[in-house]
């Protein structure tokens, strides 16, 4: 049958007309599915941004913190506590930190962090009568020189704070690797 004749036959109702129609059920499921996906994205995207955004922010260098008058620093390391404002992702806090500050024979002032480089206990200057004029860690016996050099147990020297003296006061800043040993 020619195409022309087929069309005539369809017009006259001899063949069923094939149309691509969407059923009511399909229409409803597409509509509801689309609306659900849209609403879900509206809730999930802000949550994802909240969770991930702080991690993607560039790390800010530690601010300088005024700790003590420079005139009070001697060659004997002394412990000083100070607070820093810390932003860790979405969590803000003001932890108290400690620095052992002293000056060398040339009069250069420096500050060491007392966290032992073995497993993280806290060292003390002259913490053991066995190791005079050294930092000593009570946990496993690590000991360090006044410059923070490890003499036993710990695999690395004590970390050192950036330090500046301004208007007669000692300021400490970023904590980093020991630059003295």
**Dist CA 87 CA 96 (whole Å):** 14
Shortest CB 143 distance to ligand FES, Å: 9
What pairs with residue 99 in β-bridges? 80
Q: Is 158 in the site for ligand FES (CB under 6 A)?
A: no
How many positions of this chain bind ligand FES (CB under 6 A)? 11
Q: Can you tell me the distance from the alpha carbon of 49 to that of 54, in angstroms, rounded to the nearest whole number?
A: 9
The residue among 70 and 153 lying less far from ligand FES, judged by its C-beta, is: 153
Answer yes or no whether residue 109 interacts with ligand FES by CB under 6 A. Answer: no
Region at 107 (left for phi over 0; alpha for psi -120 to 50; beta for the rest): left
Of positions 116, 146, 163, 170, contacts ligand FES by CB under 6 A? 116
User: Given strand 150-152, what is the order of strands in its sheet?
Assistant: 124-125, 135-136, 143-144, 150-152
Q: Does 142 bind ligand FES (CB under 6 A)?
A: yes
What minimum distance in Å lies between the beta carbon of 139 and ligand FES? 4
Give the footprint of ligand FES on this chain (CB under 6 A).
Answer: 116, 118-121, 137, 139-142, 153
């Amino acid at each position: 049958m020619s195409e022309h004749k087929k069309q005539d036959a369809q017009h006259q109702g001899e063949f069923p007309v094939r149309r691509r129609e969407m059923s009511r059920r399909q229409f409803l499921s597409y509509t509801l599915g689309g609306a659900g996906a849209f609403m879900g994205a509206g809730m999930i995207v802000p949550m994802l941004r909240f969770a991930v955004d702080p991690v993607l922010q560039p790390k800010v260098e530690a601010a300088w913190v005024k700790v003590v008058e420079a005139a009070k620093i001697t060659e004997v390391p002394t412990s000083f506590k100070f607070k820093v404002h810390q932003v860790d992702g979405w969590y803000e806090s003001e932890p108290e930190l400690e620095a052992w500050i002293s000056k060398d024979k040339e009069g250069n002032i420096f500050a060491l962090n007392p966290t032992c480089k073995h497993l993280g206990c806290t060292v003390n200057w002259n913490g053991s009568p066995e190791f005079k004029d050294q930092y000593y860690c009570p946990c496993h016996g690590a000991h360090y020189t006044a410059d923070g050099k490890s003499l036993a147990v710990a695999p690395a020297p004590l970390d050192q704070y950036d330090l500046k003296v301004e208007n007669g006061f000692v300021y400490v800043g970023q904590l980093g690797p020991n630059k003295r040993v």
